[in-house]
Amino acid sequence: MSQIHIDPTQDSHQLRVGLISISDRASSGTYQDLGMPALQDWLAKCLLSPYQVVTRLIPDERAQIEQALVNLVDNHHCHLVLTTGGTGPSRRDVTPEATLAIASKEMPGFGEQMRQISLRFVPTALLSRQVAVIRETTDHAALIVNLPGQPKSIKETLEGLRDDAGNSVVPGIFAAIPYCIDLIGGPYIETDPAVCIAFRPKSAIKPTRSIT
């Protein structure tokens, strides 16, 4: 399944996000996919910058996952690709292997932080194998991040954890993503600070602009 939201012929330097939900049951129609809607809803709340989304719903097949990742980066020129599902220890969970196979370099801090967040809730977070990588082509680069499959876990890992007063307890991984996209040559991303405060060094911060 594939969808493109917002005309891709618009601003060529507009943020392009690839979303891949990986599930045998959801891709066959026997189970309602929950990961993709959760990702789309969270991005709509978080991102203030205009963006385009390309989606894929595919089974837990390594070759198909690799093909989808390469297609989204090399052909659709996505700057960010988020996957959900297929990161556990079972035989059919091959998302990390597929992601590493098409990578130019690994970004281990993302996986480490996701597990730290999930360990606040369950000891089985140690079984999660999410990875993040950069894929580079001759004239383009993208950050690819494996996320968990459950909507609640997706929100927690992206957004982080806050106390009752709204203060950050554990930073979410998305706080580091806009600056990472800066560093690999992608567009400048602005976020809603009520959802996620993007961290950048002072020298990398641009004046906030109104987005209509």
Beta carbons of 81 and 18 less than 8 angstroms apart? yes
Calpha distance 77→151 (Å, rounded): 26
Calpha distance 190→188 (Å, rounded): 7
Calpha distance 26→69 (Å, rounded): 18
Nearest Cα residue to 96 out of 125, 132, 141: 132
Instruction: Supply the pLDDT for residue 2.
Output: 38
By residue count, the chain amounts to 212
The identity of residue 21, as a single letter, is S
- The answer, yes or no, to whether residue 159 has pLDDT greater than 50, is yes
- The answer, yes or no, to whether residue 5 has pLDDT greater than 70, is no
Query: In terms of DSSP H, where are the helices of the chain?
Result: 24-28, 35-46, 62-70, 95-101, 108-118, 151-159, 177-183
- Bridge partners, residue 160, by sequence: 171
Q: Note the pLDDT tens digit of each residue in 32-84.
A: 899 999 999 999 999 999 999 999 999 999 999 999 999 999 999 999 999 99
User: Per-residue pLDDT averaged across 75-100, rounded?
Assistant: 97
| Least confident residue range of 11-15, 41-45, 80-84, 86-90 | 11-15
Domain ranges in the chain?
2-204
Nearest Cα residue to 45 out of 184, 202, 203, 172: 172
CATH 3.60.40.10 for the 2-204 domain, yes or no:
no
Of the chain, the end-to-end C-alpha distance in Å amounts to 30
